[in-house]
Amino acid sequence: MYKIAFLPGDGIGIEVGNSAMKVAKVVAEHFNVELIINEKLIGGCSYDEFGSPLTDETLQACYDADAVFLGAVGGIKWESLPHNLKPEAALLKLRKALGLYANIRPAKIYQPLIDSSTLRKEVLQDVDFIVLRELTGGIYFGEPRAYDDDKGFNTMIYKKNEVERIAKIAFTLARERNRKVVSVDKANVLEVSQFWRNIVIQVHQEFQDIELTHMYVDNAAMQIVRNPKQFDVILTSNLFGDILSDIAGMITGSLGMLPSASLGSKYALYEPVHGSAPDIAGKNLANPLASISSIAMMFNYSFQMKKASELIEAAINKTLSQGYRTKDIFNEGDKLVSTTEMTEIVIKNF
Ligand code: ATP
Ligand code: MG
């Protein structure tokens, strides 16, 4: 039996979230696993109801669950609220409360989408890697930090245990994949990067079956575009990961196709990379595949059901190969479908 805290949020988060839960239920049934879904408000809708974008009740539901699914938060209606009441404030608070320090963004090409990509086919063929980004340290949180009229500064700092735990995740993930980790840093310029590199090498002692190499971040950005096939697991810090995961995402698909997972030592959260997309919200136009693929990650990482995860990914691939497309990935000659239609077809393709 597994428990999901389901936080659809605002805008298309509600639509793609419902798609994700439908898929999760069908997959669980298929594998004879009981699934309990506990739905709670987050973001703008929570502010409207309770005057807060993240309530204790919602937090508690996350603590009580085996995994959290988040749709998206935000919308025009809440844009002028003070900073701490904005829907987006709920995300930071939630990630912090759950101690999510590892962010996983897959960059995997769906074969049927290669032809409509702007990159060359031979570059994209068989691309399948993940960017693992450290999420709670580095320059985003380092002290001191400030600016005045004359200067501004931040501190890029990593502690030993922070690098150790993310490096362990990288090697563990690689073991389930193609056993290659590239650690990305800027060790030719930054002391914090040399430190990072030293610790990664130390942790690697326990993972001698995994190939470890190092790459400077400027080169990594270039290599992801030039020859993405060479990568399996990219391990990197908060700031570099922010940039590299966006590059990696966009070479393989549209915003509507990109899933993500954020892991901590106790909790895990799964969400599509895209936001609440107010322009298409409520119109049954949103691409649900990023969310459905996030559910595949949930079954793999949180429920240790790799077979279920593969079943979902195979169904997505089959659906795309049959020519079905939501508007964001539609090209001349494709079959245009709505959010709910796409979801039903994926389920039929199990
Ligand atoms: P946020 O600040 O919430 O991250 P954003 O401004 O970055 O939002 P998104 O909401 O992520 O923007 O998306 C930008 C645009 O991309 C949307 O307005 C929408 O047109 C398109 N888009 C995003 N996600 C999807 C999706 N799942 N299906 C179809 N189109 C999408
Ligand atoms: Mg955004």
pLDDT single digits (tens) 106-146: 999 998 888 776 667 888 999 999 999 999 999 999 999 99
Q: Is 255 in the pocket of ligand 1 (CB under 6 A)?
A: yes
User: Given this model, what pLDDT does residue 92 score?
Assistant: 87
CB 67 within 8 A of CB 2: yes
Return the structure tokens found at 130.
């993940």
User: Given this model, what pLDDT does residue 344 score?
Assistant: 98
How far, in Å, CA of 223 to CA of 215, rounded? 10
User: Given this model, what pLDDT does residue 298 score?
Assistant: 98
Give residue 5's Cα distance to chain centre.
Answer: 17
Which residue out of 12, 254, 255 has the highest number of ligand 1 atoms within 8 Å of its CB and is therefore the one to mutate?
Answer: 255
For residue 177, say whether it is annotated as part of any ligand binding site. Answer: no
Average pLDDT for 250-276? 94
CB 194 within 8 A of CB 158: no
Return the structure tokens found at 287.
């691409």
ipTM, interface predicted TM-score of the complex:
0.94
Q: Which pLDDT tens digit goes with each residue over 30-71? A: 999 999 999 999 999 999 999 999 999 999 999 999 999 999
Tell me which amino acid residue 297 is. Answer: M
Q: Whole-prediction pTM value?
A: 0.95
Backbone φ and ψ of 17, nearest 5°: -65, -45
| Count, residues in the chain | 350
Radius of gyration of the chain (CA): 20
The ligand that comes nearest to the alpha carbon of residue 74 is 1
Closest CA to 322 of 310, 340, 337, 312: 337
How far, in Å, CA of 151 to CA of 33, rounded? 57
How far, in Å, CA of 249 to CA of 186, rounded? 22
Q: In DSSP terms, which residues pair with 234 in a beta bridge?
A: 131, 182
How far, in Å, CA of 33 to CA of 126, rounded? 32
User: Given this model, what pLDDT does residue 36 score?
Assistant: 98
State yes or no: pLDDT of 253 exceeds 90.
no
The ligand that comes nearest to the alpha carbon of residue 283 is 1
CB 313 within 8 A of CB 273: no
